[in-house]
Structure 1
Amino acid sequence: MKYPILILGGTAEARRIADLLGADRRYAVQLSLAGRTRSPAEHTVPLRVGGFGGVEGLARYLRAQDFVMLVDATHPYAAQISANAALASKLSGVPLIALRRAPWSPQIGDRWRTTSSVSDAVAVLGPSPRRVFLTLGRQDLLPFEAAPQHRYVIRSVDPVDPPLKVPQAVYFTGRGPFKEAEEEGLLLEHDIDVVIAKNSGGPASYGKIAAARKLGIEVVLIDRPSLPEVLKVGSVDELVRYLAHAFPPV
């Protein structure tokens, strides 16, 4: 007998969880991606791409596939997906556990400003032209069209299409993890004076934060959204240990 487990993914942690559980004979793992990334990374377990049709659709899918556990390993800013997962778990009766990585904490030398939204981050830039490094998702970039006086360097997993309606913007694609030395070189090459990012936590995208600290560059961090209170762990290893205890070998 194998225990069917559905992982809501889209993060490096979700890939690692899928790899570890997929290699364990007691589990039958399926990884679900929202489909926002055009070219997702390769995975070692069966993959499902696309939405479920809201809370009720996810609940029906959980029941129909006889899943015994739902794992929320989505991005810390995927608030709607996490909310749907919590409600679908209650509707279906399938238990839920969430991986919630800790946010970054300021260190000596950091020049951080925090905002509650992308629009607030745009306002923080001010009226004078600045050289801005943006590392937000494509769907979060549109508000920066309201500040065309700045020069933007934009990194995203997928190409930004259509491009922003601003006169000065450089685009390139990349998928983490990004090393601190590489990020430092990028910031220096483009003469960046402010970095705008989400406080995602974890090591994969921390390089730019460490590089900005070293160079004395300001960082504007967008606060995390509120997420539902559910059973949660802080690391991949904790999650795997929890499942191993919940589903012993048979």
Structure 2
Amino acid sequence: MTPKRDRESMNILILGGTSEARDLASRLVALGHAVTSSLAGRTQAPILPAGAVRVGGFGGASGLGAFLRSAGIERLVDATHPYAGTISRNAVAAAQESGVPLVRLMRPAWEQSEGADWTIVESAAEAAAIVPDGTNVLLTTGHTGLEAFFERSDCRFVVRLIEAPALPVPAYAKLLQRRPPYGLEDEIDLLERERITHLVSKNSGGAQTVAKLEAARRLGVKVIMIARPAYGPAIEVSSVEDAITALELDG
């Protein structure tokens, strides 16, 4: 465990409701820092991190920059989901405009293992377009882009989400509301039970949902992987320990 420092505490804003964000908040609070975690508010009954919590948007990059200044934030951490997109871009712009150092805590991407059958695409729309007709598809891409898949009435979908989507689920799709982590045996059972031929996933990284990829490899299920978006400049790290170090070194 990292020992407490003798220096004055910092005022830190963490963006994100990921498990890494919660772990980082807990560690920073234990080190004596003033930590506020910002949650988007999309998930009902979220697991709350240590420290102060703020729910909701900022009103774009300019609103986030204004918040950084008015709240006296000294360090900004983007620990959002790798596909959060807008908030990550806003964090870069707000950090540059306000002069507040930005650390991006980004879990490493998954890598294709030997024997796995991956097709890498750039968007959910591209993934939906290349799914062969007559196939059984497990969708694990979240809420964004579901409409593109739901237009494919020639396929059968199993849609796994934590929260029910705002879109109506068509008759040729089945909704599974479950929260990770997911174990390997359960993933194999799901793929076999639903006769899944294709798995569509974002390359989110992390251990909680990686078992689906090994299950797909073992069963010969084809994977359509949506690549991560490009990110702007930041001090990028891949672990909570490295984030703490980056925050310290920047002080």
Corresponding residue for residue 207 of structure 2:
203
Q: Which runs of 5+ in 2 are unaligned?
A: 1-7
Q: CA deviation at 1:32?
A: 0.3
Q: Determine helix, strand or coil for the equivalent of 1:139.
A: coil
Corresponding residue for residue 48 of structure 2:
42
Corresponding residue for residue 14 of structure 2:
7
Q: CA deviation at 1:154?
A: 0.8
Select which of 113, 123, 142 maps to 2:119.
Answer: 113
Q: CA deviation at 1:101?
A: 2.1
1:61-102 CA distance string (max 9 Å, x none): 111111110001111112211111011011111111111222
Code of the residue aligned with 2:208 in structure 1: it is: A
Q: Which runs of 5+ in 1 are unaligned?
A: none
Q: How does 1:1-250 map to 2 (within 5 A)?
A: 1-25=8-32, 27-126=33-132, 128-164=133-169, 166-247=170-251
Q: Determine helix, strand or coil for the equivalent of 1:219.
A: strand
Q: CA deviation at 1:160?
A: 2.1
In 2, are the aligned partners of 1:118 and 1:143 still within 8 Å (CA)? yes
Aligned equivalents of 1:69, 1:203: Cα separation in 2: 27
Aligned equivalents of 2:101, 2:86: Cα separation in 1: 18
* Count of aligned pairs: 244
For residues 54 and 161 of structure 1, do their structure 2 counterparts lie closer, same or farther at Cα, with a shift above 3 Å needed?
A: closer
1:7-56 CA distance string (max 9 Å, x none): 0012111111111112222x010100112223322322211111101111
Aligned equivalents of 1:244, 1:91: Cα separation in 2: 22
Aligned equivalents of 1:112, 1:142: Cα separation in 2: 23
Between 62-71 and 74-83, report the one with greater CA deviation. Answer: 74-83
Aligned equivalents of 1:231, 1:107: Cα separation in 2: 29
In 1, are the aligned partners of 2:182 and 2:209 still within 8 Å (CA)? yes
After TM superposition, the score normalised by the length of structure 2 is: 0.92
After TM superposition, the score normalised by the length of structure 1 is: 0.92
In 1, are the aligned partners of 2:101 and 2:250 still within 8 Å (CA)? no
In 1, are the aligned partners of 2:103 and 2:246 still within 8 Å (CA)? no
1:94-140 CA distance string (max 9 Å, x none): 111111222111111101011111111111112x3111101121232
In 1, are the aligned partners of 2:107 and 2:238 still within 8 Å (CA)? yes
Q: CA deviation at 1:245?
A: 4.2
Q: CA deviation at 1:174?
A: 1.8
Code of the residue aligned with 1:197 in structure 2: it is: S
Q: Percent identity?
A: 39
Q: CA deviation at 1:145?
A: 2.0
In 1, are the aligned partners of 2:125 and 2:145 still within 8 Å (CA)? no
